[in-house]
Amino acid sequence: MKRIFFIVGFNNWGKTYLFRNLFKKDKICDIKKIRSFRTDQTYKIFDFKFDIRFKVMQVSNDDIDLEKYLDKLEKLVLGKNCENIIVALCPTTTGENIEKYKGTHGHNESLDILRSSFIKRYEKHLIFLEKKWDKRAKLEISYIEKEYKKKKVRFKSKIIKSVDREHRSKEVIKYLINIYK
């Protein structure tokens, strides 16, 4: 079965740190040293008891515009060895689209992403990072889930309540173990 896992959080929410902890790519001490994951390679989750490799896209739709994001995701999905994918997802819209849809609640780009035809055959998992790393903000997860379900997006979800970097990755690993056992 093909699976795609979306790590869901807003800008500066801790998604990149979670990717680093999961795959133990360089310990981050300086945000300027971030290196991306190669889309032509697969990666093994550190401390994961199964020999399962993942395609990884840590760039989120809040880092680049929707068209570029969808293009990168499509190339990742249509490439080789793409049974298991982990990507970052921001559940909001961009300023550009807010201007375009004035007078409304804006256009939710994450819905466009989740409803993309090239991920139709994937079982979708949304892993919500409930709180920002500094605990100053919280996702309205029930609202987000309701909006996605209203638009007929099928998914399974996991809420990560911890803001501690190591604990977050342990919770994600525990969730993945339950999926793959």
Contact 119, 77 (CB under 8 A): yes
Q: How many domains does the chain have?
A: 1
Determine the structural domain holding residue 133 and report its residue range: 3-180
Q: Pick 4 or 104 by higher pLDDT.
A: 4
Specify the CATH number for the domain of residue 175: 3.40.50
Residue 145 has pLDDT above 90, yes or no: yes
* 14 closest CA partner among 173, 142, 163, 141: 163
Residue 26 is encoded by which pair of tokens? 């360089």
Please return the burial class of 173, using the count of CB atoms within 10 Å of its CB with bins 0-12, 13-18 and 19+: middle
pLDDT per residue as tens digits for the range 17-62: 899 889 876 444 444 444 578 888 888 888 788 889 999 999 999 8
> Would you say the pTM of this structure is higher than 0.75?
yes
What's the confidence (pLDDT) of residue 96? 47
